[in-house]
Structure 1
Amino acid sequence: MSFTLEKAQAAEPKVLANGMKSFDHFRQLAGNPKLDEFFVDASELERLLPGLPLAGDSALEKLSMIADNSYKTYAVGISEWNASGGLDRKREVEYPPASHKIGYYDGLALVEVWVINPPVVTVMHGDLVVESLHLALSYTDEKRFYDERVSLELGNMLEELGYEFENRWS
């Protein structure tokens, strides 16, 4: 499915019994802006593509009460990623994670390659993060159901936007 945020926003929303719009229905219409994600060398990413916005758990940390992982997550549009020549993959993403060993992710960053240039906002201390609705759309069910803290914070963030998960952690 291609990413079609404008069409999803223009479509008739599915309204739940509590008056909130269904995020699950909206996501089916909009799709996921993220095409791929993988770990790369953090210093090489900063050298090749400086100033990328935070995405994933790193962005969610700036917008909520969760703590980030031991690595930062960034988003980049596919056209910018391709124009840069890209970087070698160092690790693939797995749920549950392959290792919780201390130091396993040292020197790595998680890069999310998006079909669009990620829309950004500036939050505390000048950090650039992807916009909230796009951030929520970029999470897969696999990640959301694996990590209860992410599910809860995404749910809280979406409620502020008038959406609610039909299937979320209590």
Structure 2
Amino acid sequence: MSFTLERAQAAEPKILANGMKSFDHFRKLAGIPKLDEFFVDAGELEQLLPGLPLSGDSALDKLSMLADNDYRTYAVGLTRWNTSGGLERKREVEYPPASNKIGYFNGLALVEIWVIDPPVVKASCGHTVVNPLHLALSYSDDKRIFDERVSLELGNMLEELGYEFENRWS
């Protein structure tokens, strides 16, 4: 299914018993903006595509109480990525991660390739981050299930936007 946020926003929302809109229903209508994600050399990414917005856990770190990982996560639109020539993949993303050893991600950044140019906002700390609704849509179910702290912070952020997971832990 293609990513169509406007269609999802125009559709009749599914209202839950507590009066909140169902994020699960909204996500089925909108789709997922993220096409792929993988680790690249952080220095090369900054040289090739400076100023990318924070996404994933790095953006959630700036918008909530979640602490970031040992690496930064960035989002880039597919057109800009393809025009840049891209970078060599250094590692693939796995849930659970292949290793949690200190230093395993040294020098790496996680890049998310999006079907659209990621809409951005300024976090209260001044960092440029992906718009919160788009950020929530970009999280895979695997990541949400694997990491309860991410699920909790996403749930809190979505509540501020009038949405709620029908089942926050799955």
Same fold (TM over 0.5): yes
Q: Residue type matched to 2:13 in 1?
A: P
Alpha-carbon distance in structure 1 between the residues aligned to 2:113 and 2:39:
11
> In the alignment, is residue 130 of structure 1 matched against residue 126 of structure 2?
no
Q: What's the counterpart of residue 88 of structure 1? A: 88
CA offsets, 1:21-68, max 9 Å, x none?
Answer: 000000000000000000000000000000000000000000000100
- Which stretches in structure 1 are left out of the alignment for 5+ residues? none
Using the size of structure 2 for normalisation, the TM-score is: 0.98
Structure 1 residue ranges, 4+ long, deviating more than 4 angstroms after superposition: none
Aligned pairs for 1:32-71 within 5 A: 32-71=32-71
Aligned pairs for 1:15-30 within 5 A: 15-30=15-30
Alpha-carbon offset, residue 125 of structure 1: 3.7
| CA 1:91–1:77: 2 relative to 1, 3 Å | same
Number of residue pairs aligned between Structure 1 and Structure 2: 170
Contact 2:38/2:91, CA 8 A, preserved across alignment:
yes
Alpha-carbon distance in structure 2 between the residues aligned to 1:153 and 1:131:
15
Alpha-carbon distance in structure 2 between the residues aligned to 1:125 and 1:115:
27
Q: What's the counterpart of residue 110 of structure 2? A: 110
CA offsets, 1:92-142, max 9 Å, x none?
Answer: 000000001110000000000000000000113421000000000000110
Alpha-carbon offset, residue 169 of structure 1: 3.2
What RMSD in Å do the two structures reach over aligned CA positions? 1.0
Using the size of structure 1 for normalisation, the TM-score is: 0.98
Q: Residue type matched to 2:116 in 1?
A: I
- Which stretches in structure 2 are left out of the alignment for 5+ residues? none
